[in-house]
Amino acid sequence: RKEVEQDPGPFNVPEGATVAFNCTYSNSASQSFFWYRQDCRKEPKLLMSVYSSGNEDGRFTAQLNRASQYISLLIRDSKLSDSATYLCVVNIGYGQNFVFGPGTRLSVLP
Amino acid sequence: EPEVTQTPSHQVTQMGQEVILRCVPISNHLYFYWYRQILGQKVEFLVSFYNNEISEKSEIFDDQFSVERPDGSNFTLKIRSTKLEDSAMYFCASTSSTGASGANVLTFGAGSRLTVL
């Protein structure tokens, strides 16, 4: 089983749509969870950290279910600028490897 | 905003040549990483470095690879004898270690694209 798995995508949605991405991880010792965004041929950039209580940042909402080892990202009112690949990232602890999922590509269409 | 800087942005080399990729992590960060991403594929962990030694490395990081922190600011990745399959984007990243909420966040440099011919 792969360490971090994501919806394969791509997701093609119209502007204004709500889209949800799912991620599962295999290592139950994982401590920190993140969503990163990567534009084509650019570095990954932090979108948001994911906390057990769930967290929201504007149009973005992240949820974590430790029991199911499942992470989600919800994007409301999609903008053209949201088009990117969304990476689910999991870390065991300081100094340890951050494990990346394969990414889910989102295209927001006008 | 503090950033991780990498040089060169793009390097083209012949197979079998040695390559050194350079990184300057964020100044108060203590954990340093190299990742690579082959075009169209996922981001893959190579190595992490803390307190002047490797703390973890992946299967990809074989004897052809080495890392060094030669002074207080630079963090380098050396590939001794490049292969065609080493062609990829190499990302340097760093994190702090304060333990404060949000501190264990990986910040990436813009990457060094390596093309092996």
pLDDT in tens, chain B (117 residues): 779 999 999 999 999 999 999 999 998 888 999 999 999 999 999 999 988 899 999 999 999 999 999 887 899 999 999 999 999 999 999 987 655 555 578 999 999 999 999
Judge contact between A74 and A18, C-beta under 8 A: yes
Cα–Cα distances in Å, from B17 out to B3, B14, B37, B83?
30, 6, 20, 9
Displacement of CA B112 from its chain's centroid (Å): 9
Put simply, whether B60 touches A (Cβ < 8 Å) is no
Chain A contact for B40 (CB, 8 A cutoff): no
Residue A93's pLDDT band (cuts 50, 70, 90): confident
Backbone angles phi, psi at A81, to 5 degrees: -70, -10
- Residue B30's Cβ-count burial label (10 Å; 0-12, 13-18, 19+) is middle
Question: Closest partner residue to B102 among A49, A94, A98, by Cβ?
Answer: A49
Size of interface A-B (CB pairs under 8 A): 59
Euclidean distance between CA atoms A86 and A103, whole angstroms: 5
- Kindly state the tokens that stand for B79: 């590939």
What are the tokens at B71? 């002074």
Cβ atoms of A35 and A54 closer than 8 Å = no
Rounded distance between C-alpha atoms, residue A30 and residue B29, angstroms: 22
d(CA A67, CA A64): 9
